[in-house]
């Protein structure tokens, strides 16, 4: 019986006042009924996305409607395997972005399978959590950070910015030692022999995820970063990527150094570079909670624009003329705009102030601007550094 029919039937029970009360109650029931139906209808479609920063205990992936047994009932085993595949893709993405080989991915998959069944669980031995059961008390990050699969994978591969805790690339000879031995070198487990037993299933998951375990590394050496030295002098290679003097790619989280590039003549803003930096510093010291998820609006405002003319930070970087983009270069000039890919569509942009520091929103305080090391966006957010560009706003106004 529909709610309106119920209202009519109940309305015949008594006097005018009673009728009015009952009709009002029935109307509320009907509204709730409509909301319930609407919510069910809205939940009928699932848009797949790979956020990698999902809620605690889950990867940030919507798997769609393929996880049932066949009669409409959920299939827990299939759902778990889908989670494993989704997390495997995230782990491999971090490895590939860092120039690491498929062997590095295989070691990480074996490790995570042994530690957490390749599931992003929020519990474990003592304070261990996440895909690799990393411990906040051992310096792997906060619990909230470790529960982000992309961050956890980044830490497994590259370790802490100071070389402690050590990641896989901090282990001397990791690409030539046994797979389980390399995993144990990072994890320091009380049961070192168990990692090798995960190789076959790791390869199965990799195949299901479309991961190329034969992928070669790009430019690295087995000893790259073995000493955890992040402070080597750096020079740019012909492709614009900043390399240490030994020719190996700079690790994510390596320091940024001041460059001396001048802006092209076409770069004209209401505020000068010096004034924009001063404005950004003042906003960090005296500004309010106005900049939540508004990084591109902030940098445009710093240079005197009311709006940037572009919706997303990543798009702003990609729309830059190729001659202005300094991809992966870690020597930005003060006043430059620095860009990162994050787990969200928009990405992130900040103003480089010099001496390795940026003015950025949402790092220390949601909505506020703070002055922080530029490396924080990689090491604390697990973001991928894209590069820097002059403060060019061709669509600004």
Q: What is the pLDDT of residues 218-266, one digit of tens each?
A: 744 333 333 333 333 333 333 333 333 333 445 677 888 998 888 999 9
| DSSP assignment letter at 129 | B
Please report which confidence band the pLDDT of residue 76 belongs to, taking 50, 70 and 90 as the band edges: low
User: Which residues does 248 contact at the CB level (< 8 Å), separation at least 6?
Assistant: 219, 220, 221, 224
Q: What is the pLDDT of residue 116?
A: 92
Q: Is the dihedral of CA 320, 324, 327, 331 positive or negative?
A: negative
Report, as an integer, the average pLDDT of 28-55: 37
Give the CB-side neighbour count of residue 362, counting CA atoms within 13 A: 14
Cβ-based neighbour number of residue 302 at 10 Å: 27
User: Sorting pLDDT into bands at 50, 70 and 90, what band is 109?
Assistant: very high
pLDDT at 64: 35
Does residue 294 contact residue 366 with C-beta atoms inside 8 Å?
A: no
Contact between residue 209 and residue 85 where contact means Cβ atoms under 8 Å apart: yes
Q: Which residue has the higher pLDDT, 229 or 210?
A: 210
- pLDDT band, residue 77 (cuts 50/70/90): low
Q: What pLDDT is recorded for position 40?
A: 38
CA neighbor of 118 nearest in space, from 211, 229, 36: 211
What is the chain's mean pLDDT, rounded?
Answer: 77
Q: Which of 131, 181, 123 is nearest to 152 (CA)?
A: 131
Phi, psi of 341 (to 5 degrees): -90, 130
Q: Model-level pTM? A: 0.43
Q: Please name the residue ranges forming H helices in the chain.
A: 3-11, 16-42, 76-97, 102-116, 143-146, 149-158, 179-187, 199-209, 273-286, 295-302, 313-318, 376-379
**Burial bucket for residue 382 (CB in 10 Å: 0-12, 13-18, 19+):** buried
When pLDDT is averaged across residues 340-362 and rounded to a whole number, the result is: 91
**What is the model's pLDDT at position 81?**
86
Q: Within 10 Å of residue 234's Cβ, how many Cβ atoms? A: 17
CB-based contact 88:26 (threshold 8 Å): no
Quote the pLDDT of residue 346: 84
Can you give the pLDDT at residue 61?
32
Confidence of residue 134 (pLDDT cuts 50, 70, 90): very high
Assigned token pair, 142: 């906060």
Q: Would you mind telling me the total number of residues written for the chain in this entry?
A: 397
- Exposure string for 64-94, b = 16+ CB within 10 A, e = fewer: eeebeeeeeeeeeeeeebbbbbbbbbbbbbb
Distance between CA 57 and CA 205 in Å, rounded? 20
Q: Is residue 55 pLDDT above 70, yes or no? A: no
The larger pLDDT score, comparing residue 78 to residue 133, is at 133
| Sheet architecture: strand order including 337-341 | 326-327, 384-389, 337-341, 348-354, 357-361, 369-373
Which neighbouring-strand residues pair with 339?
349, 387
C-alpha distance from residue 16 to each of 6, 9, 12, 26, 334 (Å): 17, 14, 9, 15, 76
Cα end-to-end span (Å), the chain: 58
Distances (CA, A) of 65 to 36, 38, 47, 155: 20, 19, 10, 32
Q: What is the pLDDT at residue 199?
A: 93
Angle between helices 149-158 and 102-116 in degrees, nearest 10: 120
**pLDDT of 177 above 60:** yes
Question: In this predicted model, which residue has the larger pLDDT, 304 or 33?
Answer: 304
pLDDT surpassing 80 at residue 140: yes
Query: Has residue 309 got a pLDDT over 50?
Result: yes
pLDDT reported for residue 10: 38
Tell me, what DSSP letter sits at residue 255? P
Sign of CA dihedral 119, 386, 357, 232: positive
Query: How high is the pLDDT of residue 17?
Result: 46
> Which residue from 292, 314, 301 is spatially nearest to 383, judged by alpha carbons?
314
Q: Are 101 and 215 in contact (CB under 8 A)?
A: yes
Kindly report which listed range (46-55, 84-93, 181-190) carries the lowest average pLDDT score. 46-55
Q: What are the tokens at 107?
A: 């070691």
């Amino acid at each position: 019986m529909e709610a309106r029919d119920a209202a009519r039937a109940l309305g015949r029970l008594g006097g005018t006042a009673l009728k009015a009360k009952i009709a009002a109650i029935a109307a509320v029931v009907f509204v709730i009924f409509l909301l319930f139906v609407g919510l069910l209808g809205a939940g009928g479609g699932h848009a797949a996305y790979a956020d990698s920063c999902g809620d605690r205990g889950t990867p940030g992936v919507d798997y769609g409607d393929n996880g049932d047994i066949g009669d409409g009932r959920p299939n827990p085993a299939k759902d778990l395997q889908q989670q494993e595949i989704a997390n495997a893709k995230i782990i491999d993405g971090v490895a590939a972005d860092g120039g690491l080989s498929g062997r590095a991915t295989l070691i990480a998959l074996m490790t995570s399978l042994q530690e957490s069944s390749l599931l992003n669980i929020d519990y474990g031995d003592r304070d261990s959590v996440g895909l690799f059961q990393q411990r906040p008390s051992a310096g792997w990050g906060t619990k909230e950070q470790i529960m982000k699969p992309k961050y956890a994978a980044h830490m497994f591969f590259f370790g802490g910015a100071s070389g402690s805790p050590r990641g896989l690339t901090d282990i001397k000879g990791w690409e030539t030692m046994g797979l389980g031995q390399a995993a144990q070198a990072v994890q320091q487990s009380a049961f070192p022999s168990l990692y090798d037993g995960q190789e076959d299933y790791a390869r199965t998951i990799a195949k299901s995820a479309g991961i190329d375990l034969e992928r070669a590394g790009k430019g690295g050496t087995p000893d790259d970063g073995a000493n955890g030295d992040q402070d080597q002098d750096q020079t740019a290679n012909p492709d614009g990527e900043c390399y240490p003097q030994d020719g190996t790619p700079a690790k994510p989280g390596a320091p940024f150094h001041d460059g001396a590039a001048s802006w092209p003549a076409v770069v004209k803003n209401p505020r000068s570079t010096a004034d924009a930096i001063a404005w950004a510093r003042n906003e960090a010291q005296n500004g309010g909670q106005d900049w939540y998820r508004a990084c591109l609006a902030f940098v445009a405002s710093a240079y005197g624009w009311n709006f940037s003319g572009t919706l997303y930070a990543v798009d702003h970087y990609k729309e830059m003329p190729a001659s202005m983009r300094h991809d992966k270069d870690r020597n930005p000039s003060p006043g430059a705009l620095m860009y990162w890919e994050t787990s969200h569509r928009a990405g992130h942009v900040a103003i480089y102030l010099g001496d390795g520091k940026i003015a950025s929103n949402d790092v220390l305080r949601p909505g506020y601007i703070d002055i922080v090391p530029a490396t924080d966006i990689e090491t604390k957010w697990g973001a991928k550094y894209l590069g820097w560009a002059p403060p060019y706003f061709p669509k600004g106004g």
